[in-house]
Amino acid sequence: MTGPVSRPSRRLVLGWGAAGLLGAGALAACSDSAPTAPAGPSSSTPVPSTSATPARPDYVGDQRGVALCAALSALAASLYSGAVVAAGDGRLGQVPGVVTAFLSGAGAQHTEHAAAWNALLTAAGRPAVSGTPLSVETERRATLGRAAAPTDLLSVAVDVEASVGATVLARAGEFTDARAAALAATVAPVAAMHGATAAFLLGRPTGVTPGPAGAAVGLDALLL
């Protein structure tokens, strides 16, 4: 390309969801209407007590990739929140202010990204992803829990950003809805920027190949 390409502002990214992204196209929702129940038994017949388990959301087509990105962004935000708490509780020693500021800022942007992905789902009539329903969650939280120094927090950040970026780029190549692809194209450079910043603070080259924790997360990791 011959010149810089302006990226949509964060407000614009979040605005896409409210404008009805992924409407009746590739993210068209399946009907959630429950079938009409048959007539119940007479009042003289005892009715057994049952406890119904809510059905999991049925994300189909592009919706599943969007749900994965929403869950991963939410997990990234949660990990950064935990890192900020660890930085402030004293157990890691003196954490430089620039590190805490980076962790807080990056976490806030991942929170906004999760909201933007969820806006695509709700605009299509599907439920937003709640929490962080990913099979990789336990292992990634355990890695953060093992942090013993400020550099460990930054190492977690490097892996988080590499994983988010790789996952979003992988999904971008599969999205059939142009606006989902556009959101992916906005989120991926932000993840790359965060990763480069964390690597710089660690004194690492920014082009180092990430480890397993920095790999793309597949659709099979989504527990929905």
58-221: what CATH class?
A: mainly alpha
Q: Which of 213, 221, 158 is nearest to 191 (CA)?
A: 158
User: What pLDDT does 50 receive?
Assistant: 42
Phi and psi based region of residue 48 (left: phi greater than 0; alpha: psi -120 to 50; beta: remaining):
beta
Residue in the structure block whose two tokens are 């460990």:
152
Q: What pLDDT is recorded for position 110?
A: 98
**Exposure string for 187-224, b = 16+ CB within 10 A, e = fewer:** bbebbbebbebbbebbeeeeeeebeebbebbeeebbee
* Two tokens, residue 83: 């890192």
Spell out a b/e string for 84-117, using b for 16 or more CB atoms within 10 Å of the CB, else e.
bebbeeeebeebeeebbebbeebbebbbbbbbbb
Predicted pLDDT of residue 55: 57
pLDDT at 36 (0 to 100): 39
Can you read off the two tokens belonging to residue 54?
Answer: 């809510």
* Tens digits of pLDDT across the chain (224 residues): 434 433 444 333 333 333 333 433 333 333 343 333 334 444 444 444 444 444 567 899 999 999 999 999 999 999 999 999 999 999 999 999 999 999 999 999 999 999 999 999 999 999 999 999 999 999 999 999 999 999 999 999 999 999 999 999 999 999 999 999 999 999 999 999 999 999 999 998 877 777 889 999 999 999 98
Q: Give me the pLDDT at residue 2, please.
A: 38
Phi then psi for 42, rounded to 5 degrees? -65, 160
**What is the rounded distance in angstroms from the CA atom of residue 37 to the CA atom of residue 161?**
48
Q: How many C-beta neighbours within 10 Å does residue 32 have?
A: 11
What's the predicted TM-score (pTM) here? 0.76
154: tokens are: 């930054």
| Residue 157 bridge partners (DSSP) | none
Can you spell out the DSSP letters for 100-145?
A: HHHHHHHHHHHHHHHHHHHHHHHHTT-PPPPS--BTTHHHHHHHHH
Rounded CA-CA distance 67/117 in Å is 7
